[in-house]
Amino acid sequence: TLIFPFLTMGCSGTGSNDQKTKTITVIDGYLHNAIICIDRNKNSNCEVIEELALKTNELGHIQVNLADAQYPIIAKAQAGSTYDSDQLTPLTKSYELIAPADSDYITPYTTLAFLNNISLQSLAEQFDFNYVAISNDYVKDKQDEPQLAHLIARAITPMIDSEILNNNISELN
């Protein structure tokens, strides 16, 4: 008789948690130990009060409350403490990536689309990218087009500034 209440508690807790959060993935390669900011005031600036307590895991994943997912999300990759799965050592240059509200991924592509004030679909059309390849996990997908998207992202990232607002849009484009 004691086991049943514990099983019930465990099941209800898990179910309600799944409905209140979503997983967001931060990718150049997978960024581990990146700081995540919920841009609640929508000023494209990662302020200390907007930082989440947890950082991304080794697959670039972070759990975000559904309420927070309604805002743009900034990922701060920090030199010396953030790791990119494409490299064995910590990053040597800091940069920020951003994605609009309700995104599942934060990537150099979501950053370019955000900075150009266009959708990811429009970015794909403008630069002749495969939309499916740049809008999904191009690190995990080993097909040709996602792998090309990964290579292009790796070429874009070194040009991204340490603060979103400091980026030179025309240079990035």
Question: What is the structure's pLDDT at 173?
Answer: 87
Query: At residue 68, does pLDDT exceed 60?
Result: yes
Q: Is the pLDDT of residue 5 over 50?
A: no
Rounded Cα distance between 48 and 171, Å, is 28
Give the pLDDT band (50/70/90) at residue 11: very low
| Chain mean pLDDT for the chain | 90
pLDDT digits (tens, 9 = 90+) for 49-64: 999 999 999 999 999 9
Q: Dump pLDDT digits (tens) for 114-163.
A: 999 999 999 999 999 999 999 999 999 999 999 999 999 999 999 999 99
For residue 66, pLDDT over 70 is answered with yes
The set of residues, in sequence order, having a beta carbon less than 8 Å from that of 30 and lying 6+ positions away, is: 56, 58, 59, 60, 84, 85, 139
Using one digit for the tens of pLDDT, what is the confidence trace for 13-40?
Answer: 444 445 799 999 999 999 999 999 999 9
